[in-house]
Amino acid sequence: MTSPHLPDRPAGPPAARPAAVSWTLVAGLSALALLWPLTGLTGALGTGAPRALTIIGLTAAVWIGVVGLGRVPRPVLTLALTGLAYGLVAALIGTLVPVLSGFGPGGGPAWTLIPALAFDTMWGSVAGLVAACVQRLRGGAR
């Protein structure tokens, strides 16, 4: 028996691959986690809630500004990974130098790591959505 030969599919344009995440950018933006211990050591920005809100607001503004105005591809994924990396940096600092984390000697409870990382990742995702909106308002990603 002979099998029917099916014609080859016509070659179309190559499928567009999604742009890769810039790991250098993720590392650089997550380094803003160092603001917490630096402001604690220097006494800048005061203490308590005003300091925390200032650091959170400044970090969010930088993330959204860099990714949104810089037209970084895949802003939500980039900032979600940045949030996760931010949480890992903060946890590492809190483990190595617990006094700088605000918990005093011994550091914070270990069970808080997973919820904190989830919160930081969610925070990054929300910032990524805002950055994506900024990109759309400016005319889309490159």
Q: Which two tokens stand for residue 111?
A: 């069970």
pLDDT (0 to 100) of residue 140? 54
Which tens digit of pLDDT belongs to each residue from 117-135?
999 999 999 999 999 999 9
pLDDT surpassing 80 at residue 32: yes
Q: Which two tokens stand for residue 103?
A: 């918990």
Mean local confidence (pLDDT), 9-35:
81
The pTM score is 0.79
Q: Which of 31-45, 113-127, 128-142 has the highest mean pLDDT?
A: 113-127
Place of tokens 């400044």: 58
- Whole-angstrom Cα distance, residue 138 to residue 142? 11
pLDDT (0 to 100) of residue 44? 83
Is 124 in contact with 86 (CB distance < 8 Å)? Answer: yes
pLDDT (0 to 100) of residue 110? 77
